[in-house]
């Protein structure tokens, strides 16, 4: 769990993440930094569902596994990425965050968690 917290703290300090979580592919949260007033189960299950849908679509197209989903809104960007075969990481950052560096970091999370 300490490695999970390290990743979440880095997302907040380096990229200004307003919400982040590491969850199982079933949507069960393993660790999270989610604001008060948010229902964690709803957030994590919907993110797991989006990743599951992307996996199914990619499988149908025979184009390999999706690595990252990016969703933009008015002032924020949400990223959902695989964190190994059993986990997903989600994070929401304000527009203006260094998205290239964030995407690179998110794709390295499986290695960070296995250290």
Average pLDDT, the chain: 92
Number of domains composing the chain? 1
Whether residue 111 is contained in a domain is answered as no
- The mean per-residue pLDDT over the stretch 16-34 comes to 95
Residue 31's alpha-carbon distances to 27, 53, 63, 90, in angstroms, are: 11, 23, 30, 11
Asked whether 69 and 82 are in contact (CB, 8 A), the reply is no
Q: Which domain holds residue 13?
A: 1-69+90-96
Asked whether 91 and 17 are in contact (CB, 8 A), the reply is yes
Check which CATH number belongs to the domain holding 35 and give it.
Answer: 3.30.450.30
Asked whether 15 and 97 are in contact (CB, 8 A), the reply is yes
Confidence of residue 60 (pLDDT cuts 50, 70, 90): very high
Confidence (pLDDT) at 115: 59
Express each pLDDT in 62-105 by its tens digit.
999 999 999 999 999 999 999 888 899 999 999 999 999 999 99
Confidence of residue 111 (pLDDT cuts 50, 70, 90): confident
Dihedral sign, CA of 83, 67, 45, 58?
negative
Confidence (pLDDT) at 85: 84
- On the CB side of 18, CA atoms within 13 Å amount to 12
pLDDT at residue 114 above 70? no
pTM over 0.95: no
Whether residue 23 is contained in a domain is answered as yes
Distance CA 60, CA 30 (A): 29
Spatial CB neighbours of 111, under 8 Å, sequence gap ≥ 6: none
Distance CA 79, CA 50 (A): 11
Asked whether 29 and 23 are in contact (CB, 8 A), the reply is yes
Share of the chain above pLDDT 90, in %: 82
- The mean per-residue pLDDT over the stretch 37-65 comes to 95
């Amino acid at each position: 769990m300490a490695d999970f917290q390290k990743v979440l703290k880095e997302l907040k300090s380096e990229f200004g993440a307003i919400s982040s979580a590491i969850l199982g592919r079933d949507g069960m949260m393993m660790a999270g930094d989610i604001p008060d007033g948010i229902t964690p189960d709803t957030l994590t299950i919907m993110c797991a569902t989006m990743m599951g849908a992307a996996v199914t679509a990619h499988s149908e197209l025979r184009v390999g596994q999706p690595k990252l989903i990016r969703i933009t809104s008015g002032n924020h960007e949400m990223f959902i990425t695989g964190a190994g075969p059993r986990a997903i990481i989600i994070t929401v950052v304000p527009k203006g965050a260094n998205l290239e560096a964030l995407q690179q970091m998110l794709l390295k999370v499986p290695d960070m968690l296995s250290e």
